[in-house]
Structure 1
Amino acid sequence: MDFLKITKVENVQLEKSQGVFVGTLHLTTHQLIFKYSNNKEELWISYPIIHTVERRPPTSEPRYWPLFIKCRNFVFVTISVPIEDEAIDVFDTVQKLTCISSISQLYAFYYKPEKEFKCKDGWKVYDTRKEFDRMGVGTKTKTWRFSDVNEKYTLCPTYPRMLIVPQKISDTVLIHAAKFRSKSRIPTLSYLHHNKASITRSSQPMVGIQKKRSIQDEKLIQAIFESHLETHSGRHVYGSTAHNLIIDARPTANAMANTALGAGSENTEYYKNCERKFMGIDNIHVMRESLAKIVEILQIADSQGLPIKKSQLDKSNWLKHISILLSSAYEIIETVNVKASHVLIHCSDGWDRTAQLTSISELCLDPYYRTFRGFQVLIEKEWVSFGHKFSDRSGHLSNERYFINMSNTNAAGSAFNSVQSKFYKQSHVREISPVFHQFLDCVYQLFQQNPTRFEFNEKFLVGLHYHCYSCQFGTFLFNSEKERKEYHVTEKTYSVWDYFNSDREAYLNPSYCGEEKDKDPKGDMGNYLKGKMMN
């Protein structure tokens, strides 16, 4: 409460989507709330959802001191306060409550729902053994095993504690192989298809300009690419190793540039019976700039009431990036489902583009992941458990540079542009990127093309995007499973899945008929979705 210099302001003017409203502004420790004069409506803005706040020069007549707020969920509002001192206090209060120093100070650690959630198993939605048992690990095939080599996160701090690796590979080999992969993120099983073809994921190999190699890493990948062989007989079950793929999600130039830094990409001379392909997916910095252009387009359209033109979207390259992600997933789906072969996916460190490609591909290959519950399992497995850096990429800890005082300059527009161009280059924003947002957009595109194949609806995707930034729940806090355990997230915060599952009917797709259409001999609709994806 020490940061609350002011808690209530009367006669505040709110401008939103060309509408102008009068009401009362309330500031709490975790939200600012605008209560409309009709006393029937309220606008709640959680502090973590705020991207930037500008304190602008006063208006002429009537005289107001406006604060322009840009939110991460594409909400743009101007709150105009009638007294200058109150406007300063509001600006300072919102800044202090938004720019906190520790994730443990976020709303999730204080949030208590008005009514207890009906569902309370959110932290148990994903069980590693149960999910991989469902795929057939240990039941349909004996060529994979569960390893506790990372039980205390000593092998790889950003990986889950339980890993699924080839049966024939010992933990000793895994320990040595980890030295050859960036951040020790070794190749490990992500998905096992019904035909025993697999999707594994890792980080880039530490090849360097000296073209180093690791016998243990090569042995591990060879075992992965031979995992469709029955261990007791050596008999082929499905597929041919000739079609195995190593997918490097990066543009070729980016991968080669990493070679100078001691990393790089696999030399296929050392990895038998496989092909390597570069997918050309740009890095987090390019994606951040692309989203910034989208936000600018939406802000102008929102303020002027104009429709968004495709030519404007094209200039942002956002749709181009989405298209590349989907076409890359096509390569993976075809290899796994049609050619019955194995795919190893990585980018640089294996927690951004890698998570996008594994989850999009699995969504298409396995109808379970298109159910309401299955989609939650998919996100927990590929994003939360495998160490996507949610806190860094979402910018959960904001910075005072996002709060801009423009009230003392006559050239407000040019001043803002100058300040903005400078602070966007600072290190504190270089980790922020809409990686998870892009995944949700890809799911939305697939949903639009296949509206009967998803049990959940668009509202569910929008809600996930919002709560990725809201910090109301602990699910998307921190950067790894290890960090969430250290901060006792499951004991001190609520799971976002309890929130959604308690109001399940609101997020279901009434057009869903996947259970009927997905009942084919192979048990999936990978081919169908793959074909639709490319049209």
Structure 2
Amino acid sequence: MAMPRTRSGRSTSLHDSDSRLYESEKIDALEWTKIEVILSSLIPRRVSRSVPLGVLQFLLEAEQVIVEGYGVVLVNTDEAGTLFVTNFRLLFLSEGSRNIITLGTIPLATIEKFNKIVMKLPSAPRQSDRSPSRRLLQVTGKDMRIIVFGFRPRTRQRRAVFEALLRCTRPTRLLDLYAFASGPSRFGNTNPRVRLLNEYFRLLGMGSYNASIRLIEDGSFTLSNELWRISAVNANYTMCPTYSFALLIPKCISDEEVLQACTFRARCRLPVISWCHPGTGAVLSRSSQPLVGLMMNMRSNADEKLVAALCTQLVGAKEPRRKLYIADARPRKNALANGAMGGGSESSSNYFQSEIVFLGIDNIHAMRDSLSRLRDYLDTHGTTSSDGMSSFLRHGGWTWGGGNLSSMSASVSTLGDTGWLIHVHNVLAGSAWIAARVALESASVLVHCR
């Protein structure tokens, strides 16, 4: 990737410039369930504006242009083009080929943050007070991309794009999101609730049944086999807003017991079945952490009965019931620390034929910090940095190994210091361990973190 040059021919790094950061806030899906929906909000608002004919062929179904910027430069590749902010993505079209530039195009939902940057350009010694500046917009993606756009001065295009991003990445209404504005797909994708029920039917060994919207509206989807059943206790999402409308649970557990058990789990995410082995009957279940409290002594009979029901009869085995592993994805110390806030972890003495295992996977905050350090490492030692500007390679520094054993060792050490490989190892090792318990022992596994 070519490094963009200033007028003096010298490379300039974004990290050396003063910047004011405007981070896009994350939208909490939980809060959306509390929005009082009024009749007028059921109709998504449309943006009516004229769109250049050249861009229409690139727009998706119901995708609409909010703001456009002309003569914009994708600083990463020093390529000029037109930048469009739509209700779905940032879309960058090349000025020369009129094709979409993949590096400069990113869905709004995958933008982590964005900020304005003003970078002074070098000028003649006697004209330091009149030195020109570049108006830049830096967009950081959740996929580790750092995209930098340069705008022409005194056009106010950067402000228009920035304000459009603020509105579109933080909509005031749920129905303003592109997912709702697009409506039913013309490609015939089935309703997600229908797909969920068809998967449940398959797990129950009833693959010949076909779910439908009418079946859901009638509430007649609560089928069962000898072990498991589909419950409609969360049909209106009132019990747990972050669980699906239909839940797969043990047949011996009533809806009343489900409502009791959910109060013992964080955010009411009680143990529910995600997958069932077609041959052995072992299940993978998920939940949130139990609310055992600081002294780890709080209990719930309904929760213990629900978890024990996952230990079904083994087929043709001497043991009357299969073993249950409760895989707590956190390090043990994190689980104990959560006890101070009312959470915690299970005790094997309270749950029938169970064993508690801690997988040692760090929380999301540690993951983000590690990912940030990994990005810095790639910017320093990679062939191409994430923003196309800040690598040592751009300033004539040494390459990854540079043919020097000591510098190569330093690079490897820095990569290890990011902690990213350890996180990846822990996730893969935990997944492999769970799969082995199901395959080799025909055991059921309940997985949760916090």
For 2:175, the aligned partner's letter is: S
Instruction: Determine the C-alpha separation between the residues in 2 that align with 1:149 and 1:47.
Output: 34
Question: How many residues are matched?
Answer: 336
Structure 1 residues 33 and 101: alpha-carbon distance in aligned structure 2, compared to 1, 3 A threshold: closer
User: 1:65 is matched with which residue: 107, 121, 134?
Assistant: 134
Counterpart position of 1:209:
294
Counterpart position of 1:297:
377
Counterpart position of 2:305:
219
Secondary structure of the residue that 1:224 maps to in structure 2?
Answer: coil
Q: How big is the shift at 1:20? A: 2.1
Secondary structure of the residue that 1:322 maps to in structure 2?
Answer: helix
User: 1:173 is matched with which residue: 244, 253, 257?
Assistant: 257
Q: Trace 1:124-163 onto structure 2 (pairs within 5 A).
A: 124=192, 127-136=195-204, 142-163=226-247
Instruction: Determine the C-alpha separation between the residues in 1 that align with 2:48 and 2:106.
Output: 20
Q: How big is the shift at 1:219? A: 1.6
Counterpart position of 2:422:
320
For 1:71, the aligned partner's letter is: T
Secondary structure of the residue that 1:22 maps to in structure 2?
Answer: strand
Are the aligned partners of 2:175 and 2:181 in contact in 1 as well (CA < 8 Å)? no
Instruction: Determine the C-alpha separation between the residues in 1 that align with 2:225 and 2:415.
Output: 47
Q: How big is the shift at 1:338? A: 0.5
Are the aligned partners of 1:255 and 1:265 in contact in 2 as well (CA < 8 Å)? yes
Instruction: Determine the C-alpha separation between the residues in 1 that align with 2:343 and 2:233.
Output: 24
For 1:108, the aligned partner's letter is: A
Q: Deviations over 1:370-428 (max 9, x none)?
A: xxxxxxxxxxxxxxxxxxxxxxxxxxxxxxxxxxxxxxxxxxxxxxxxxxxxxxxxxxx
Q: Deviations over 1:217-256 (max 9, x none)?
A: 222222211x235xxxxx7568774742111111101111
Instruction: Determine the C-alpha separation between the residues in 1 that align with 2:167 and 2:175.
Output: 13
Q: How big is the shift at 1:40? A: 3.5
Instruction: Determine the C-alpha separation between the residues in 2 that align with 1:92 and 1:125.
Output: 36
Greater fraction helix: 1
Q: How big is the shift at 1:58? A: 3.2
User: 2:284 is matched with which residue: 169, 182, 199?
Assistant: 199
Secondary structure of the residue that 1:79 maps to in structure 2?
Answer: strand
2:153 is the alignment partner of 1:83: yes
User: 2:268 is matched with which residue: 184, 188, 207?
Assistant: 184
Structure 1 residues 153 and 296: alpha-carbon distance in aligned structure 2, compared to 1, 3 A threshold: same
Structure 1 residues 143 and 216: alpha-carbon distance in aligned structure 2, compared to 1, 3 A threshold: same
Are the aligned partners of 1:30 and 1:97 in contact in 2 as well (CA < 8 Å)? no
Q: How big is the shift at 1:339? A: 0.5
Q: Deviations over 1:145-194 (max 9, x none)?
A: 22222222233222222222222222222222222222222212111112
Counterpart position of 1:21:
79
2:338 is the alignment partner of 1:270: no
Are the aligned partners of 2:108 and 2:168 in contact in 1 as well (CA < 8 Å)? yes
Structure 1 residues 319 and 163: alpha-carbon distance in aligned structure 2, compared to 1, 3 A threshold: same
For 1:142, the aligned partner's letter is: E
Secondary structure of the residue that 2:302 maps to in structure 1?
Answer: helix
Structure 1 residues 295 and 272: alpha-carbon distance in aligned structure 2, compared to 1, 3 A threshold: same
Secondary structure of the residue that 2:119 maps to in structure 1?
Answer: coil
Instruction: Report percent identity of matched pairs.
Output: 29
Counterpart position of 1:364:
none
Instruction: Determine the C-alpha separation between the residues in 2 that align with 1:5 and 1:135.
Output: 44
Secondary structure of the residue that 2:115 maps to in structure 1?
Answer: strand
Counterpart position of 2:313:
228
Are the aligned partners of 2:282 and 2:443 in contact in 1 as well (CA < 8 Å)? yes
Of structures 1 and 2, the one with the larger relative CO (CA 8 A, separation 6+) is 1
Counterpart position of 1:9:
70
Q: Deviations over 1:487-509 (max 9, x none)?
A: xxxxxxxxxxxxxxxxxxxxxxx
Instruction: Determine the C-alpha separation between the residues in 2 that align with 1:167 and 1:24.
Output: 58
Are the aligned partners of 1:238 and 1:340 in contact in 2 as well (CA < 8 Å)? no
Instruction: Determine the C-alpha separation between the residues in 2 that align with 1:252 and 1:49.
Output: 32
Instruction: Determine the C-alpha separation between the residues in 2 that align with 1:255 and 1:247.
Output: 12
Q: How big is the shift at 1:267? A: 1.5
Are the aligned partners of 2:87 and 2:177 in contact in 1 as well (CA < 8 Å)? no
Counterpart position of 2:170:
100
For 2:263, the aligned partner's letter is: K
Counterpart position of 2:326:
246
Q: How big is the shift at 1:319? A: 2.1
- With the length of structure 2 as denominator, give the TM-score of the two structures: 0.65
Are the aligned partners of 1:197 and 1:228 in contact in 2 as well (CA < 8 Å)? no
User: 2:96 is matched with which residue: 27, 30, 38?
Assistant: 38
Secondary structure of the residue that 2:327 maps to in structure 1?
Answer: strand
Instruction: Determine the C-alpha separation between the residues in 2 that align with 1:121 and 1:5.
Output: 27
Counterpart position of 1:346:
448
Q: Trace 1:414-453 onto structure 2 (pairs within 5 A).
A: none
Aligned CA RMSD, in angstroms, stands at 3.4
Q: How big is the shift at 1:336? A: 0.9
Instruction: Determine the C-alpha separation between the residues in 2 that align with 1:328 and 1:125.
Output: 30
Structure possessing the higher radius of gyration over alpha carbons:
2
Structure 1 residues 275 and 262: alpha-carbon distance in aligned structure 2, compared to 1, 3 A threshold: same
Greater fraction strand: 2
Counterpart position of 2:18:
none
Q: How big is the shift at 1:110? A: 4.0
2:341 is the alignment partner of 1:281: no
Q: How big is the shift at 1:67? A: 0.9
Are the aligned partners of 1:198 and 1:343 in contact in 2 as well (CA < 8 Å)? yes
Secondary structure of the residue that 2:348 maps to in structure 1?
Answer: coil
Counterpart position of 2:10:
none
Instruction: Determine the C-alpha separation between the residues in 2 that align with 1:39 and 1:82.
Output: 21
Instruction: Determine the C-alpha separation between the residues in 2 that align with 1:121 and 1:91.
Output: 33
Instruction: Determine the C-alpha separation between the residues in 2 that align with 1:89 and 1:273.
Output: 62
Instruction: Determine the C-alpha separation between the residues in 2 that align with 1:106 and 1:147.
Output: 30
Instruction: Determine the C-alpha separation between the residues in 2 that align with 1:238 and 1:138.
Output: 29
For 1:271, the aligned partner's letter is: Y
